[in-house]
Each structure stands twice: as C-alpha cells, then as structure tokens.
C-alpha cells in the first residue's frame, strides 16, 4: 500500500490552497479531515520496513529499544507530543478542581477559574485523542500516569507554582513545535490551543505576582518574543511529572 502513496509535497501543494481563503468554514474542515487522512496514510506507509529512505522511523505509541514509549514521527509525533502535555495538564487541574478545600486554599473566584481551566485542558486532551484516533489510528499515545512531588496539592504556593510551570512550558512547547508541523490545518489547531494556554499562563502568573503576565523572564525585552523550546527541552522537564519514559526523538521527522 505504501508503494502507491504520493509524495507529501504534492499533497500539501494541492490541498493547501483552500486554507488561504478560510472564510468557508465547511470547506476548511473538509480539507482538514482530507489532508489529515492522507497524512495518516503517508505516515503509516513510512513505518513500513520496505521504506527505502528512513526505515527506522517509529510509529506513535510503539516501544523503543530502550523501553521508552515513542511519540512517533512526522505530524503524528507532534500531535502525540501535544497530547502528552495536555494529558499532564488535564490531570493536574482535575486534581486541583477536585480539592474539597479548593475554595479556601485558592480563594473562591480563583478556584472557580481553576475549574474552568480544568475543563479547557480536559477538552484539549480529549480533542487530541479523538483527532489522533481518527487520523492516525493505532498510533495514539497511551494514557500516561502523571506523578507529582509530595505536597504539590497542599498549598496555594505549590499549586500556583506547578500551574505556572506547566502553562509556560506548554506555551514554549507549542511555539517550538509549530515549525515541525507539515499539515497547515494542524498548525492552525495548535495555534488555536496555544493562545488559550498563554491566557492561562498570564492569569496564573498574575496570581503569583500581579503584573507578571508577560514579564521579562518570559518575554524577551529586546524582541518581544515569548519562549520557544524544542521537544527535547520540553520533555526533559515534563518527564519529571510522567511515570512512563517518553521518546520524542522523531517528532516532526518525515521519511
């Protein structure tokens, strides 16, 4: 089957055109689905042993030689990478939202906002699972087991510090991963999510230090640019909070 597939480049050139006039929502989503399907086929093809270019690109959720779980390659790798981070964020906020003393610990308004953020992150997580299941069946990253330092959920200070770390990390992760995406529709989706993560990050930062929503430690003063991190840099940090060992070595890599 992989022998019959067209090269990626020709797919993109043909399908990308409608995105540039994205007023017609229906055609945009039809396009998104069509390209996503095509990408999944191509990526599935890439993993075949017969592939003459890069025979060793891992499929999503496969186990690598050292026992790590691979996030996969190409766009699937990027989506699984985002899915992994959203799993972590969603788990963290669900635990915060479930605190019986949440309102007294964080303040009533803040606790209510945290419950909204918990919903946003759960939706992000479940959206990625649904999209991956549709576009890359068989390569969907498994459910991860988050872990936290003792006392993480015991005080306002530790909850806010953890939330800030996750949100700023998430923003930097999406900012760094955008250029690894090949399918424009996926890039748009990532953009739609990262700005919400940035809103969360700004809010959490303001709770910790009022006015620090885009402070110089996060947004470079000279360029006005937010942080961007490579998958390797992000996973180095995220790994501290995830029981399973993840491998992101082939994220964005195509045959």
Pairing of strands 246-247, 69-70: parallel
In the bound state with another protein, the residue whose beta carbon lies nearer, of 94 and 239, is 94
Min dist CB 50 to another protein, Å, is: 28
Under 8 Å between Cβ of 54 and 46: yes
Shortest spacing between CB 131 and another protein, in angstroms: 6
Q: Tell me the C-alpha distance between 99 and 108, whole Å.
A: 12
User: Please, what is the minimum distance in Å from the beta carbon of residue 154 to another protein?
Assistant: 25
- Find the shortest distance in angstroms from Cβ 172 to another protein: 9
Residue bearing tokens 């995105």: 19
User: Cβ closer to another protein: 70 or 110?
Assistant: 110
Q: Which two tokens stand for residue 17?
A: 């055109």
Cα separations (Å) of 90 from 12, 34, 69, 164?
32, 29, 20, 14
Q: Which is nearer to another protein, 12 or 249 (CB)?
A: 12
Instruction: Indicate the residue among 74 and 184 with the shorter CB distance to another protein.
Output: 184
Alpha carbons 254 and 10: distance in angstroms, whole number: 14
The alpha carbon dihedral of 178, 184, 188, 193 has a sign of negative
Cβ proximity to another protein, 141 vs 187, nearer residue: 187
The footprint of another protein (CB under 8 A) covers 16, 19-25, 28-29, 32-33, 36, 113, 116, 119-124, 126-127, 129-131, 134, 171, 174-176, 178-179, 181-182, 184-185, 187-189, 191-203, 206, 210-211, 213-215, 219, 221-228
Shortest Å distance, C-beta 150 to another protein: 29
Structure tokens given for 89: 């964020």
């Amino acid at each position: 089957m992989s022998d019959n597939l067209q090269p990626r480049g020709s797919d993109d050139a043909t399908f990308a055109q409608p995105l540039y006039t994205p007023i017609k929502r229906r055609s945009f989503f039809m396009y998104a689905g069509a390209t996503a399907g095509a990408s999944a086929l191509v990526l599935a093809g890439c993993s075949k042993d017969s592939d003459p270019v890069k025979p060793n690109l891992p499929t999503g959720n496969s186990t690598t030689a050292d026992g790590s779980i691979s996030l996969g390659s190409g766009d699937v790798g990027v989506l699984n990478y985002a899915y992994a981070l959203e799993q972590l964020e969603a788990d963290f906020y669900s635990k915060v939202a479930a605190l019986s003393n949440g309102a007294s610990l964080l303040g009533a308004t803040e606790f209510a906002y945290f419950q909204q953020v918990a919903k946003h992150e759960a939706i992000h997580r479940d959206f990625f699972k649904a999209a991956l299941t549709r576009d890359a069946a068989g390569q969907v990253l498994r459910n991860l087991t988050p872990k936290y330092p003792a006392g993480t959920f015991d005080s306002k200070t530790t909850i806010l510090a953890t939330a800030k770390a996750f949100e700023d990390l998430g923003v930097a992760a999406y900012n760094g991963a955008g250029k690894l995406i090949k399918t424009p529709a996926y890039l748009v989706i990532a953009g739609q999510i990262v700005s919400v993560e940035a809103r969360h990050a700004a809010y959490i930062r303001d709770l910790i230090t009022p006015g620090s929503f885009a402070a110089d430690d996060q947004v470079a003063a000279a360029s006005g640019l937010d942080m961007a991190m490579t998958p390797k840099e992000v996973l180095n940090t995220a790994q501290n909070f995830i029981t399973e060992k993840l491998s992101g070595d082939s994220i964005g890599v195509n045959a």
